[in-house]
Structure 1
């Protein structure tokens, strides 16, 4: 039996091991240079630290908020300083014709570069005072310690508020609404997103358990009976469930994939609920009942 697993988060899961890679890198260099110093490798370490600093700064450009965009900066034109101040965003916007996204990326990358140089300067200054260890090893250790100390500053740019509504209350209201409109013993097909919680409030409805985890347990190919036994599913099970279900709960942004199936001739749509299970656009639920 050949089974292909569809994983939407595999690359994100690999990121869990990033700290181990950093530690392994530090330990490897420490062992390699324990007995003999190599100037070429020391230069490589400096280059890697600067490159990593710019990369980490660039990756945080979405965290750049008004506090950084409107940071006061002296005005300078025609070769001399001018009275008053301006902002970094104004300089980049009117001086280099950057849009907002480019401004955020430039500021975050520049901050990363600055932190990288600061950590190198501190490391070199401390190393010159003692000189008890290899410079390359000392640079890396100091860089890691500096990153740990400055980690609270990663959110200096004002984190974005993703949601204004009470999600728990919204799920409770959705659950109450579903319990009112779904007839007892109905077989419910769920394509309403990752938040299956509202269905907890409809205990008399029957569901397809593998859909609780949405597409994360979906397989391409495989024996449907074996997959279902392990609470997984595939295209064959999906088609079977579509033919059997009485109620269909569809996330609004996914409805384009259902237009040809949920036709007005075969299904009636319930009034849209007032609450949404998530704050993202298109997370609203559309609920359909098969016409007998």
Structure 2
């Protein structure tokens, strides 16, 4: 630990080098983000934010109107990307460049905030933690809401964290905080927690307030009703949007708070067609995937709790950020892991707020207690073992792909120690009646977990024998604390590896995907005149951005996710959903059918109705996915 302190003191004497290092990290981040913005194919959520946003921003629909779009998210999550397309033109290129710009702004906001809270070196380390996380970059490179929320949160924190915030900064911070929640409803607790933090950071009638008032001529500093300025900003953005779309915006709140008073805004009775039942193992894997894909932010925050500073000038700020991170983590864990809708969305949800974890580290790092009490060091090491075991469990597929072929089969065919010539799988087969395949499958989980936990247990022993201690009573907590720091550092440094954040590349393509969408959109626009009624059966609605003036059935945009089993046609359409009856009615009116290859099923009811249409265009694939071919049918 003394070595770490000496290194830190030496580096503090070279602030210019820290700025250069941060600039290099920012450049690396920008280059990588540019590549990710071009090399991923569009997914459903991205297409929905862009296309629904365009429809709303252009006035074709109004948020929460009857018989309009399904507003399953707050209105600004759609309107903001819609307004950007009104300014710069509709299309995936506009959306991705907007996402790219937001990501750079988010990094800048986090850098400036961490520099103010922790200094230049801490800020440089934060930038590099971001640049070494390809998973978070891939998530925010798409024109979904992750990048938008991350940027809004970063600048909200910049404007509100710390004691010496001017009233205009708090007002603007309140505006951004309200906008953040009007983009992402799950972040609702940001508002009360932020108001409480600002109030307790410098209470209205504290001695600091009186000093600040005199020193600043009674003007502008946080002590002079700073929380009121913040609250005013929140009321303008958060309250203003609610007033604008009142009362139907309560439909969204009724989904999260099914109180009797909100009964008039409940969704119509229905049975969802998308209702998976993921096993507990999937939920567990998704939970630990979040730590693998956002290791620096989450493991770093865990480090803060282990090395909690004895004396920290930012202790109120640290408590606020800790509460904020835990709250966001819990709410999104409940939304993803506590429900069936999208269990594996939890890692991508974490991209919304992972910057809070990094800011928590930045605000406390210089004051960490590197020799924590034995109980905290021991508890932290146990948490580390559980974390590594869970991460290894979630990485079993990746580990299998990295190992030689038939590795696990050969492993279970090794002799079992203490059982003579009997092979491992034979022992389990005799004991539990298992087949060799079942034993091999179990080994794919047990092996990476055992290696990860074994390495973590071995590390304290290595440290113990590699370093000579002069104070014997501090040995135990020192080796445990050192082990925690080393693994956190190595995990952050090697985040680009496939064992951590490098694994997340399910939507990646080897070449630029944007020209493919542009070309397909142009080809379709030549054949579908404005005003045409279009039956949509595709994946990402981003394709529809290139077809101005068309009429669509809004309930089809979400695909299976908005398809309901119900006889209440009017109720479903009013809410923005669809069912078999509404689809059939719309097909009878449609001038064109646009069908994506991934949904092509010769046995489906739609295939049986295509005899009334003629195939007029089969496009090239929109991306590297062969299933992204579009088939355009025109009514005969």
TM interval, shorter chain, is: 0.5 to 0.7
Q: Contact (CA 8 Å) 1:186, 1:206: kept in 2 or not? A: yes
The alpha carbon displacement at 1:188 in A equals: 0.6
Which one of the candidate residues 387, 391, 400 is aligned to 1:56?
391
Partner SS for 1:155: coil
Q: Taking structure 1 as reference, are residues 210 and 48 closer, same or farther at Cα in structure 2, changes over 3 Å only?
A: same
Q: Contact (CA 8 Å) 2:412, 2:443: kept in 1 or not? A: no
Structure 1 equivalent of residue 570 of structure 2: 225
CA separation in 1, counterparts of 2:542 and 2:557? 9
The worse-fitting range, judged by mean Cα deviation, of 172-181 and 240-249 is: 240-249
Q: Contact (CA 8 Å) 1:55, 1:112: kept in 2 or not? A: no
The alpha carbon displacement at 1:172 in A equals: 0.9
Q: Contact (CA 8 Å) 1:123, 1:139: kept in 2 or not? A: no
Q: What do residues 125-178 of structure 1 show as CA deviations (whole Å, max 9, x unaligned)?
A: 99x96767x97xx96996588346514424324656831232221111111011
The alpha carbon displacement at 1:249 in A equals: 1.3
Q: Taking structure 1 as reference, are residues 96 and 111 closer, same or farther at Cα in structure 2, changes over 3 Å only?
A: closer
Q: What do residues 245-276 of structure 1 show as CA deviations (whole Å, max 9, x unaligned)?
A: 221111212211665533563221123112x2
The alpha carbon displacement at 1:56 in A equals: 1.3
Structure 1, unaligned runs of 5 or more: 24-36, 70-88
CA separation in 2, counterparts of 1:173 and 1:277? 8
Q: Contact (CA 8 Å) 2:408, 2:444: kept in 1 or not? A: no
Q: Taking structure 1 as reference, are residues 218 and 91 closer, same or farther at Cα in structure 2, changes over 3 Å only?
A: closer
Q: What do residues 67-117 of structure 1 show as CA deviations (whole Å, max 9, x unaligned)?
A: x65xxxxxxxxxxxxxxxxxxx38938954899x99987875465234432
Pair 1:12 & 2:356 matched: no
Structure 2, unaligned runs of 5 or more: 1-267, 276-339, 358-374, 414-436
The worse-fitting range, judged by mean Cα deviation, of 104-113 and 56-65 is: 104-113
Structure 1 equivalent of residue 269 of structure 2: 2
Partner SS for 1:189: strand
CA separation in 2, counterparts of 1:277 and 1:45? 48
Partner SS for 1:169: helix
Q: Contact (CA 8 Å) 1:120, 1:143: kept in 2 or not? A: no
Aligned pairs, number: 250
Alignment of 1:190-269 (within 5 A): 190-193=536-539, 195-221=540-566, 223-256=568-601, 260-263=605-608, 265-269=611-615
Q: Taking structure 1 as reference, are residues 117 and 11 closer, same or farther at Cα in structure 2, changes over 3 Å only?
A: same
CA separation in 1, counterparts of 2:271 and 2:406? 52
Q: Taking structure 1 as reference, are residues 253 and 151 closer, same or farther at Cα in structure 2, changes over 3 Å only?
A: same
CA separation in 2, counterparts of 1:65 and 1:93? 8
Q: Contact (CA 8 Å) 1:192, 1:249: kept in 2 or not? A: yes
Pair 1:185 & 2:531 matched: yes
Q: What do residues 20-44 of structure 1 show as CA deviations (whole Å, max 9, x unaligned)?
A: 9xx9xxxxxxxxxxxxx8xxxx8x9
The alpha carbon displacement at 1:242 in A equals: 2.4
The CA RMSD over aligned residues, in Å, is 4.8
The alpha carbon displacement at 1:64 in A equals: 5.1
Pair 1:170 & 2:511 matched: no
Alignment of 1:1-292 (within 5 A): 1-5=268-272, 6=274, 9-13=341-345, 16=349, 50=385, 52-63=387-398, 69=403, 89=404, 92=407, 95-96=410-411, 108-109=448-449, 111-118=451-458, 121=461, 143=484, 146-147=487-488, 149-157=490-498, 159=503, 162-193=508-539, 195-221=540-566, 223-256=568-601, 260-263=605-608, 265-274=611-620, 276-291=621-636
- Relative to its length, the structure with more strand (as a share) is 1
Q: Taking structure 1 as reference, are residues 272 and 142 closer, same or farther at Cα in structure 2, changes over 3 Å only?
A: same
The alpha carbon displacement at 1:187 in A equals: 0.8
Q: What do residues 193-213 of structure 1 show as CA deviations (whole Å, max 9, x unaligned)?
A: 1x2112111113211223233
CA separation in 1, counterparts of 2:567 and 2:484? 49
CA separation in 1, counterparts of 2:526 and 2:442? 50
Q: Taking structure 1 as reference, are residues 118 and 246 closer, same or farther at Cα in structure 2, changes over 3 Å only?
A: farther
